[in-house]
Amino acid sequence: MSQSTDFAAVILAAGKGTRMKSSLHKVLHPIAGRPMLMHLLDSFAQLELKRTVVVVGDKREQLDAALANRDVSTTLQDPQLGTAHAALQAREALDGFSGNILVCFGDCPMVKAETVRKLAAALEGGAKVAVLGFRPEDPLQYGRIIADEGGAVSKMVEFKDASEAERACDLCNSGLIVAHSDDMWPLLDAVGNDNAQGEYYLPDVATNAIARGDKVVVVETEANEVAGINSRAELAAAEAQWQTEQREHWMAEGVTLRAPETVFFSYDTELAADVTIDPNVVFGPGVTVASGAHIKSFSHIEGATIGEGAQVGPYARLRPGAVMEKGSFVGNFVEMKKATLGEGAKASHLTYLGDAEVGAGANIGAGTITCNYDGYFKYKTVIGERAFIGSNSALIAPVTIGPDAIVAAGSAVSRDVGAGDLRMVRAEQVVKPGWADRFHDTMKKKKAAGKK
């Protein structure tokens, strides 16, 4: 793309998405925890677009809300008379803009910025219009692009209007098209609706350009880059494709995945080299893992920071705000939320740490919980360095356990414990000799009497 040519994008997202059968707008359905439209916008951010317009229709309020914090404008298509008509609705939002305009669909989240640059380069090479084509295994009912070996397009036709010979062509139209604003608007204005559906089709921009003697070229890409998402099955396929690419990426970056097909990443997962991930691990948004960390099987991690050499799981759950410092450890059935586990600290099993700060080298016994919520407010628990919390203890926040302190097993601690102190909070044990034997005898006699 020439540095002197400005660029704008028009993203079409006005359709009803009826095949999704959802109250959520189609382009807001997530892939790897991020709406598909946001994947597309993040990719296009690399193009340094001057303006971006999303053409909306059904469920407009959802899109307006989702885009509120982005430098993106929306414009309404009503009524919906086809893709060319939809693109024309962006003209007012792009008033005064001079440069290349990309028109694409919001349900194609895998489109790469580099691919768009190739389309722009075709304009620099003398074409008036550049379109993106692909060759799927099964062309289905995609529109066809008729072009020579050099990529010069002689005709674009919708499947419903194509002849048998044209349908035999396997070069299909992705829907992406680029032209300079000086050409795009007149070509869109010239699109008619004399076709089987009575709609204004975007590919007729290229058809009209050819008719007036302009050069139109096709740039080809892989089918999986431009796969549209119109159903839950296609959404699942896109998720699978994205996850496969991420697994390959992280292994190439030095991460060990013991069973790659069972590990699921989020759009923003960050892993350092020499991280090891066992089977059946799920990463939600906001996770960073440092070198040497080991994530064991069946762990679910979201919004967490895992330090160098830390160990998680198996069967651990880290929720937003969880921080594990260097060499710390959580084992099976440990849950952390808005809690920090200091360097070398351990919570080996059956523990809940919420709104807590655990010092370096501390040991949290099995069954320990921080009681952080009174039904109205959250409170913090602070556990000092090298403190030892015995099994089955309840730390009732707000409470501070000092460094090197010991909380005896089975204690319910509601007051601060000083450094180096022992706190034991238990009811007095009472022994009644022979009571259990007498109880069993009485119950057995009652049961026998009942049967008679």
Binding site, annotated residues for Mg(2+) = 107, 230
Establish whether 349 is a catalytic residue: yes
Give the E-state strand segments of 272-414 in sequence order: 276-277, 282-283, 288-289, 294-295, 300-301, 305-306, 311-312, 317-318, 323-324, 329-341, 346-358, 363-364, 369-371, 381-383, 388-389, 394-396, 399-401, 406-407, 412-413
What's the burial of 104, exposed, middle or buried (CB within 10 Å: 0-12/13-18/19+)?
A: buried
Between the CA of residue 113 and those of 88, 119, 225, 289, what are the distances in Å?
A: 23, 10, 11, 28
**Rounded to 10 degrees, what is the CA torsion of 62, 68, 70, 73?**
70
Options 25, 300, 349, 440, the catalytic residue? 349
Q: Tell me, what amino acid is at 263?
A: V
Tell me the two tokens of residue 306.
């895992």
What is the SS3 assignment for 304?
A: coil
Tell me the two tokens of residue 338.
């808005």
How far apart (Å, rounded) are the C-alpha atoms in residues 435 and 421? 37
How far apart (Å, rounded) are the C-alpha atoms in residues 226 and 111? 6
What is the SS3 assignment for 58?
A: coil
Binding residues: 12-15, 26, 77, 82-83, 107, 143, 158, 173, 230, 319, 337, 352, 363, 366, 372-373, 391, 409, 426
Tell me the two tokens of residue 31.
């892939």
How far apart (Å, rounded) are the C-alpha atoms in residues 249 and 254? 9
What is the SS3 assignment for 207?
A: helix
> Chain-centre distance of CA 284, in angstroms?
8
What's the burial of 261, exposed, middle or buried (CB within 10 Å: 0-12/13-18/19+)?
A: exposed
Q: Tell me, what amino acid is at 195?
A: N
Our CA angle for 283, 248, 43, nearest 5°, is 75
Binding residues for acetyl-CoA: 366, 372-373, 391, 409, 426
Catalytic sites, residue numbers: 349
